[in-house]
Structure 1
Amino acid sequence: MNIKRKIGDFFKKYKHAWVFSYALLYGPWFYYLETHVTSGYHIIYSPIDDKIPFIEYFIVPYLLWFVFIAVVFAYFFFTDVDGFYKLAKISFAGMTIFLIISTIMPNGLAIRPVVFERDNIFVDLVKMLYQTDTPTNVFPSLHVFNSLAACIAIKNSKKLNEHKAICMGAYILTALIIMATMFLKQHSVLDVMAGFLMAYTLYQFVYAPEANGVRKPVRQTLFVK
């Protein structure tokens, strides 16, 4: 009975976990795009891409993105339900927009290097990344967008803002992740710009109203004795 009660209390306390059911929509949709968008897609390219060198060492912050997003979501999930809902709202809205864009306008890249000048463990990791991640469905960059969404959530958390080192570390890591998308030739500068634009736009709907002092009206309840 104690175990059942503990399980029941856990789900009662963390009932907002239902939000993660979004994966049931995103997962199959993204998998479909990855397996069906293989040719005839729109090439995302800017002349600026050619001026950005390939630097394999950026594979480290690129891979840290997965840990970063998971840790930020976990923090808000367990400590700040309201912040968690806002983070989920901005993140999942952006990811849905990404899916819609990729469906309506299949897109991809043609800037990945074929020959590598160096041979080291970082290049090996990049090769593994290229083998597992197709150069399609790149606009806008979710690495950029989700990193910015996490930073927005952190910036708007009063509790986290008391820990300047944590905030600064998150911002620096985000900057490195964004740079990594271009230095690893995983994204065009256009993908990055679109990620910024989408984060800024969705911020106006999710966080800006409260930040500007606009709050939802509170319903008054009349008590009759």
Structure 2
Amino acid sequence: MKKLWKLVEKVMPGYALVPLIFCFTYNCLVYEGAMMITKNWTHYDLTMGVDRAVPFVPWWIYIYFICYAFWAANYVLVARVSDREQFFRFVTAELMSKTVCLIFFLVLPTTNVRPAVTGTDFASDLMRMLYTIDAPANLFPSIHCLVSWFCWIGIRGNKRVPAAYRIFSLVFALAVCASTQFTKQHYIVDVAGGLLLAEGAWWLAARVQLRVWVQQFFTRMNNRLKYAGLE
């Protein structure tokens, strides 16, 4: 375990590992938990006219799936280049935003009508797989857009990250937002909700006592790991 911890510290500060694992776990609990709870509830379709005008383009599924690697890379990068205070601001914003997502998923369960996938190419096969494993629910706000935007927020003002990569992160985050539209996984209102929530949570995390409490909580957890000989 100590060897594993030393390996982690070559990539990012050791204190960041537990918070990042916690964020991932909380995200899964929010998404899957809300899906289970609201499975038989009435869901609302927030589709607007502009959404119907956006074509269904299966090849955007590649961006939609690649973004998972983008999330992992940039969350680790945020931990690597941020000072401790900024990192825990990021973690606090992440946890606050997912809590707001949970509230919306429960109070306003959403759904949409997906198009028929008739293509025989690989992208169409991936679309059919996605539609099979991911029910059309938990749409507002879009977690795909929310997390992708956090990937940019966390590094956009950090000069330790090359400007070219910061620009790439912005462009790719926007591409992910576009992919949610062209794959018909989300609609415009879901994208707007995700981006506004990310910006709002980031702004608020710097101004509330919760950030201090979050940092203290994870500091205690890391200290316990040290005492247990796991670090």
Q: TM-score, normalised by structure 1?
A: 0.79
Partner of 1:16: 16
Whole-Å Cα distance in 2 between the matches of residues 75 and 22 of structure 1?
A: 15
Task: State which of 32, 42, 51 in structure 2 corresponds to 1:49.
Answer: 51
Moved more, 48-57 or 98-107: 98-107
Indicate whether 1:89 and 2:88 are aligned.
no
Residue 28 of structure 1: how far off its partner (Å): 3.2
CA contact (8 A) 1:87 1:150 kept: no
Structure 2 distance, partners of 1:54, 1:113, is 7
Residue 101 of structure 2 aligns to a residue whose secondary structure is helix
SS of equivalent to 1:54? coil
Is this contact kept in 1: 2:23–2:94, CA < 8 A?
no
The structure-2 alpha-carbon separation of the partners of 1:186 and 1:63, relative to structure 1 and needing over 3 Å to count, comes to same
Q: Is the 8 A contact 2:97 2:201 kept in 1?
A: yes
What is the TM-score with the length of structure 2 in the denominator? Answer: 0.77
Q: Select which of 52, 63, 66 maps to 1:64.
A: 66
Identity %: 22
Deviations 1:67-87 (A, max 9, x none): 111001112334434343232
Deviation at 1:23, TM superposition (A): 4.3
1:36 deviates by 3.6
Q: CA deviation at 1:9?
A: 6.5
| Separation (CA, whole Å) in 1 of partners of 2:156 and 2:35 | 33
1:139/1:132 Cα in 2 relative to 1: closer, same or farther (>3 Å)?
A: same
Bigger drift between 6-15 and 96-105 goes to 6-15
Spell out the pairing of 1:1-225 with structure 2 (5 A cutoff): 14-19=14-19, 20-39=21-40, 40-82=42-84, 83-110=86-113, 112-116=114-118, 118-160=119-161, 163-206=162-205
| TM-fit CA distance, 1:53 | 0.2
**Correspondence for 1:220:** none
Aligned to 1:218: none
Rounded to whole Å, the distance in 1 between the matches of 2:5 and 2:152 is 33
Structure 1: 5+ residue runs without aligned partners? 210-225
RMSD (CA atoms): 2.5
Instruction: Write the distance in 2 (CA, Å) between the matches of 1:135 and 1:154.
Output: 31
Q: Match of 2:154, SS?
A: helix
Look at both structures and tell me which one has the larger radius of gyration over its CA atoms: 1
Q: Supply the distance in 2 between the matched residues of 1:183 and 1:147 (Cα, whole angstroms).
A: 16
Aligned length: 202
Q: Partner amino acid for 1:200?
A: E
69-78 or 82-91: bigger deviation = 82-91
Q: Check whether the contact 1:43–1:107 (CA below 8 A) recurs between aligned residues.
A: yes
The 3-state SS of whatever aligns with 1:98 is: helix
Amino acid at match of 1:105: L
2:149 is paired with a residue whose SS is helix
Give the 3-state SS of the residue equivalent to 1:38 in structure 2. coil
Secondary structure of 1:135's match? Answer: coil
CA distance in structure 1 between the aligned counterparts of 2:44 and 2:122, rounded to whole angstroms: 32
Query: Structure 2 regions of 5+ residues with no counterpart?
Result: 209-231
1:26·1:96 contact (CA, 8 Å) conserved in 2? Answer: no
State the 1:7 CA deviation: 6.3
Shift of residue 158 of structure 1?
A: 2.0
